[in-house]
Structure 1
Amino acid sequence: MTVLEQSLIRDIGLASAGNLKIDWVEAHMPLLRRIREQFQTERPFAGKKIGICLHLEAKTAYLALAVQAGGAEVAICASNPLSTQDDVAAALVDRGIITYAWHGATADEYRTFLNKLLDFHPDALIDDGADLVSTIYRERPEQAKEIIGGCEETTTGIIRLQAMDAEGILQFPMMAVNDAYCKHLFDNRYGTGQSAWDGIMRTTNLLVAGRTAVIVGYGWVGRGLAMRAKGLGARVIVTEVNPIRALEAVMDGFEVMPIVEAARYGDFFVTATGNRDCIARPAFEVMKDGAVLANAGHFDVEISKPDLRAMSKSVRMVRSNIEEYHFHDGRKMYLLAEGRLVNLVAGDGHPAEVMDMTFALQALGLREVVTGQYRPGVHRVPEALDEQIARMRLEAWNLSIDTLTEAQQRYLNSWTD
């Protein structure tokens, strides 16, 4: 069978448009371009099948092509039905990568795509939200024996993997790429900080300056969201359950209060916790008319859609990616992107330069897992690999830094100096 015959996509005729998108990000992803060239020579994945589940857009496509250059046979599916770009999916098939994805997939179609990818019997994985790994353990546990290992992209996925590891059921190593410094410090903070507000602004066409933005969660994503909201001229309120993070938000110059108090003031609400029901009925009951609700976490559970529906007399789409919930008391709430990742559903995702670092970590992390000797469980990215990516990024920007002298190194490693 041809790659096209094995794939499930909307329209191969869209490939030329998708190829243009991939060519654009390639020009702005020098780290991954350099790794792709290394892989072409080294062939670390020769004879291996690699399964990838990520948001299927141009930057992800270039990661898949880098893995393919390493000698792998690659199959890919989407980690979110609304972030898939059909032209990019077509371009991947055009470039020899088996693809199972189309924009707007139903829940059943989404599960079909996951299982189709697992029918490919990959030797290693790049996962997002642990969707592939959790599907294996829920539905196809015998297949776990076939997996050498893999890499995980998100906080949500690492939480799931750590729960599996704690229960003793994770039978292969997974590299926690999300926890690498060059991922969470830059991708989560600067990438999401910029791209989420880009998605919110282009979708609503509303002014942020002078308004109140409520950021739910002050992890690395929340920090980035708050920083960018402040830069746009918003008053920023942070809600948290962690006292240390709450204290950090205060010292960063933001107001901190419980969500039911912040709900009275907010014009924009953005969730970034990785948990469910972070904005629910008690907050909805006191919100202003016209509040805008968006989610920057992995799954569409952070804003309680069941509560929104239960409180509404009608729901309608008033603008692309904006659902209006008309409450029985007359107030209207606006939910963006169905409560899914606003930066990818209503925007183009993270800037290419940021994803260049993250996907460079994914590519090198996958090589580390496939060629190394790791026990089953969740593993941190090696510090040396993390620093390698940072140095590559600096070099790409023509920046240099100091190095320690021998005397300085001795001083740091001695207690007698």
Structure 2
Amino acid sequence: MAEDFRETKPLAGLRVALSVHPEAKTAWLCRVMEMGGAEMHVTGSNPLSTQDDVAAALAAGGMHVCAVHGATAEQYRARSTPCSKRRPTSLSTTAAISSTGCTRSIRAYLQVIGGCEETTTGILRLLAMDRAGELRFPMMLVNDADCKHLFDNRYGTGQSVWDGIMRTTNLIVAGKEVVVCGYGWCGKGVAMRAHGLGARVIVTEVDPVRAIEAHMDGFTVLPMDEAAKRGDIFVTVTGCDDVISARHFPMMKDGAILSNAGHFDVEVNVAALRKMAAEHYEARHNIEGYVLPNGKTLFVLAEGRLVNLASGDGHPAEIMDMSFAVQAMSAKYLADRRAELHPGVIRVPHEIDDAIARKKLSTLGITIDTLTDEQKKYLGV
């Protein structure tokens, strides 16, 4: 795809603002879009996920970069602002665009052709904004593309979450009771990998269909009030807030480990835990210990932020190549159709998924069958 973009320049003349986790794989997405002719403006989408050497390398290569590892909330907001002030003509993002952000900076967004959102959390926000009539420009739902959520969310999250947890704690997973909160595509991957590592897996859900699916996949399904008493390691993967709340902490085992793989640091209510704790200390790099009044100690990984990025390197490149291909092709789609698109959400066309999957199969050395004309007629294709 880099070769295609370098040759055809589909983003020539456009400013592209990316809110991403600046690390090696996202850096390559930035460079591919730059090869496509875009002027790149890059900011971090999480205070702990920026890798400073990567951000510096992008800046040294001529991109506009506003990101630093370990930013405070104020620094994080300050570093995000320049991207909107640059008046981008195209916006790609791996973080949520809140309605507050859109209304506050509406003048900056007036010339935006469109954007691409590749997180489940962000898409929930976009759909809500679309229903409320608050979207000011087209947004492509990258996360819902097959070449994104079927692979990135399931296999990527499943592997990178456990890589982050094991690297940070240096503990064994086999034999432990793991509670996975949420059984969407990300939760499926986390539960599957935990089972493969020898854990006994408990799933909590609010969706009855997904709960049945988790049950039929062989996992124990419990409400959080029951799961809280049993878990050794907790992983939230819901996109919601207060999933593990104040009432759950006193129920937990001494030494329970709390981690989050949803986008924001609100799924585990760390603020409530900090408030109720009698003592709070750094137990190990990226691990905070909270001593409760009942004498139990709970451990929170990466401040409750994305454990696979704040405590690891994120998904493997062999997964993210497809996700970022969807990003790049969706940006091209917006650029090619800028005159005909209207504000609102846009599903990624099947043709983009098909083209990316065929490229991926080619790199894997895999060939597949092709329908004959008679078969296409039979199927009504």
**TM-score (norm: length of structure 1):** 0.89
Deviation at 1:136, TM superposition (A): 4.0
Distance in 2 (CA, whole Å) between partners of 1:135 and 1:154 is 18
Aligned to 1:316: 281
Confirm whether residue 279 of structure 1 aligns to residue 244 of structure 2. Answer: yes
Distance in 1 (CA, whole Å) between partners of 2:207 and 2:101 is 33
Distance in 2 (CA, whole Å) between partners of 1:171 and 1:202 is 42
Confirm whether residue 289 of structure 1 aligns to residue 254 of structure 2. Answer: yes
Does structure 1 retain, via aligned residues, the 8 Å contact 2:325–2:356?
A: yes
Deviation at 1:297, TM superposition (A): 0.3
Give the stretch that moved more between structures: 303-312 or 315-324: 303-312
Aligned to 2:53: 87
Distance in 2 (CA, whole Å) between partners of 1:80 and 1:47 is 28
Secondary structure, counterpart of 1:74 in structure 2:
strand
Distance in 2 (CA, whole Å) between partners of 1:130 and 1:346 is 21
Confirm whether residue 376 of structure 1 aligns to residue 347 of structure 2. Answer: no
Secondary structure, counterpart of 2:234 in structure 1:
strand
Aligned to 1:102: 68
Aligned to 1:264: 229
Aligned to 1:224: 189
Distance in 2 (CA, whole Å) between partners of 1:68 and 1:144 is 21
Unaligned runs of 5+ in 1: 1-34
Aligned amino acid, residue 76 of structure 2: Y
1:3-402 to structure 2, matched below 5 A, reads 35-131=1-97, 134=99, 136-372=101-337, 373-402=340-369
Secondary structure, counterpart of 1:146 in structure 2:
coil
Distance in 2 (CA, whole Å) between partners of 1:42 and 1:405 is 32
Distance in 2 (CA, whole Å) between partners of 1:138 and 1:328 is 43
Does structure 2 retain, via aligned residues, the 8 Å contact 1:129–1:155?
A: no
Q: CA RMSD in A?
A: 1.1
Deviation sequence 1:194-227 (CA, Å, 0-9, x none): 0000000000011100110000000000000000
Report the number of matched residues: 379
Q: Percent sequence identity over matched residues? A: 55
Does structure 2 retain, via aligned residues, the 8 Å contact 1:210–1:233?
A: yes
Distance in 1 (CA, whole Å) between partners of 2:358 and 2:10 is 22
Aligned to 1:407: 374
Does structure 1 retain, via aligned residues, the 8 Å contact 2:84–2:109?
A: no
Does structure 2 retain, via aligned residues, the 8 Å contact 1:200–1:342?
A: yes
Deviation at 1:138, TM superposition (A): 3.6
Secondary structure, counterpart of 2:230 in structure 1:
coil
Deviation at 1:161, TM superposition (A): 1.0
Aligned amino acid, residue 399 of structure 1: I
Does structure 1 retain, via aligned residues, the 8 Å contact 2:99–2:134?
A: no
Aligned amino acid, residue 85 of structure 1: Q
Distance in 1 (CA, whole Å) between partners of 2:75 and 2:132 is 30
Deviation at 1:128, TM superposition (A): 2.2
Distance in 2 (CA, whole Å) between partners of 1:378 and 1:286 is 42
Aligned amino acid, residue 313 of structure 1: A
Distance in 2 (CA, whole Å) between partners of 1:269 and 1:287 is 10
Give the stretch that moved more between structures: 212-221 or 117-126: 117-126
**TM-score (norm: length of structure 2):** 0.98
Distance in 2 (CA, whole Å) between partners of 1:39 and 1:49 is 15
Unaligned runs of 5+ in 2: none
Secondary structure, counterpart of 1:334 in structure 2:
strand
Secondary structure, counterpart of 1:358 in structure 2:
helix
